[in-house]
Amino acid sequence: MGIGDAMTRRAVFLDRDGVINRVVVQNGRPYPPAGWAELEIIAGVPEALAQLKSAGYLLLVVTNQPDVGRGKTPAAVVEAIHNHLRSVLPLDGIYVCTHGGGADVCDCRKPRPGMLLAGRDDFGLDMASSFMVGDRWRDIDAGAAAGCRTIMIDYGYDEKAPDHTPDYVCGSLTEAAEKILTF
């Protein structure tokens, strides 16, 4: 890859739970599936990802999985979910933060941009031409901190709003992909 190529490589960073797969909502808050057997890919996601891939975007999942660090979910369960997602979706990479503490524990836990910046460095991405798609405030704030355009899939969770206003608000990854493909 030449110097010019690195400046034009672009990605769509995707939160996992709520963007790619269904979440379990309890008391207005989203929770990940407890295991591979509960994993349900949201309708339209494979097609939306295929369209983005065909348009030349790299597809990178960036996901907080704090229950691993808290000892509630074995790392093997998260890896099994990711292995399945890799086998059925055209993903180029999956970045995971398993730290269980607050946001100050590490640089990778969203809303910090560490996972996105790792993707930038690994793939030589132009962040201004890339997007972060998420369903929670942490995703939008991480994308903004990394210099991406941000798209919020708004499910109306009972939690704080992002500190940064999303560039776009959509109802699904299908809608988000349609918006991205206009660029």
Of all residues in the chain, the percent with pLDDT exceeding 90 is 86
Query: How many beta carbons lie within 10 A of that of residue 67, not counting itself?
Result: 17
> How far does Cα 59 stand from its chain's mean position?
9
Q: What is the pLDDT of residues 56-92, one digit of tens each?
A: 999 999 999 999 999 999 999 999 999 999 999 999 9
Tens digits of per-residue pLDDT, 40-64? 999 999 999 999 999 999 999 999 9
Q: Which residues make Cβ contacts (< 8 Å) with residue 139, sequence separation at least 6?
A: 15, 62, 110, 111, 132, 133, 150, 152
- Calculate what percentage of the chain has a pLDDT beyond 70: 94
Report pLDDT digits (tens) over 144-153.
999 999 999 9
Average of per-residue pLDDT values in the chain: 93
CATH superfamily of 3-180: HAD superfamily/HAD-like (3.40.50.1000)
pTM: 0.94
Q: Please provide residue 74's backbone torsions phi and psi, each rounded to the nearest 5 degrees.
A: -65, 140
Q: Name 75's Cβ contacts closer than 8 Å, sequence gap at least 6.
A: 68, 98
Q: Delimit the domains of the chain by residue range.
A: 3-180
What length does the chain have? 183
Task: Say if residue 110 is exposed, middle or buried (CB neighbours under 10 Å; 0-12, 13-18, 19+).
Answer: buried
What is d(CA 92, CA 3) in angstroms, rounded to the nearest whole number?
21
Catalytically active residues, by annotation: 15, 17
